[in-house]
Amino acid sequence: MKKYFIIYLITIMLAGCQNNKIQSDYDVITKKVDSLLNIMTLDEKIGQMNQYNGFWDVTGPAPKKGNAKFKYENLKKGLVGSMLNVRGVKEITVLQKIAVEETRLGIPLIIGNDVIHGYKTLSPIPLAEAASWDLDAIEKSARVAADEASSAGTNWTFAPMIDISRDARWGRVMEGSGEDPFLGSLIAKARIKGFQGNDLSLNNTIAATAKHFAAYGFSESGRDYNTVDISRNTLHNIVLPPFKTAVDAGVRSFMNGFNEFDGVPVTGSVFLQRDILKGDWKFDGFVVSDWGSISEMIAHGYAKDGNKATELAVKAGSDMDMESHLYVRKLKDLVDSGKIDHKLIDDAVSRILRVKFELGLFLRVV
């Protein structure tokens, strides 16, 4: 009995030491984030909230005109925090060198790509993986993908998609885990563990994204980008459980969606992003919009123009703008005019910087 008691005490002590280390690492990163945030201009902060799609052959001549030239100049000014759809060590290194060596503060980019069911080594599609009920194999599948993607310069994946869907007409059912929230939650945890491992700063891990927050899989008649009309019971007991599991598993980013929920585009939903995700669940990572979903609030009839769409998105908790180009064009004037509180900018940027520090990007990029 005495022997088991001693083992129990040692276990408790080791667990305490581990918790203390985690808290210590968290506090160290908090200090680094705060220090960097204190020397950033408003323009540079907004830049961290701006994500661009890959826009030119970066190993060739720089663009001379058009949208690519605009984006390239913003990159050199430190007005880009992230890029997606840039692949391969050669091209990503060129971009990172511009970000680190040619901008005032040298903040590295977080490079996102769709690593959905493998990078070079392909696994079955997520729906087929889900049908196996083999959680170990699913985790290993994500681990292999993370190994390969990270070796090519990608440090962030827009996966796993954990939308529960029960309408086979919806075109993205194959990217999810089916119709059951219990199985979907288990798979969400397994895939996040596979992508992120136990230490995000290791060079063979990548940050995962829980998407699409929320209810995208219940779009009316399976029509993409459409409205969602479900009860709060369905929301809390069917749609949200895999997302809560993702937070508990330590996922570092969320992506919102194109759909409306309860008459409000989810990109502009305070209820989903501020109240539930960042409030009740205390999620401390960042939220990225889906492709152009901030500007698409105009098409939904929810925002009258780009200024209003930007204001609604920031206030709702959308931290990073994927390819709407609205934050980098509109946000400074909204802050200067007092329509958006500077504290909301600091909150969004601190979340993005935290994940960059956790990934070890400031140490990895030279």
Catalytic residues: 290
Contact 172/161 with Cβ under 8 angstroms? yes
Phi, psi for 112 (deg, rounded to 5) = -105, 145
Nearest residue to 289 via CA among 264, 274, 308, 268: 268
- Cα(119)–Cα(238) distance, rounded to whole angstroms? 30
Nearest residue to 287 via CA among 268, 308, 263: 268
CA torsion through residues 108, 29, 201, 48, sign: negative
- Cα(80)–Cα(271) distance, rounded to whole angstroms? 28
- Helical segments of the chain, H only: 2-38, 42-48, 66-76, 89-101, 126-132, 135-151, 181-196, 232-234, 241-248, 270, 296-299, 306-316, 326-336, 342-358, 361-364
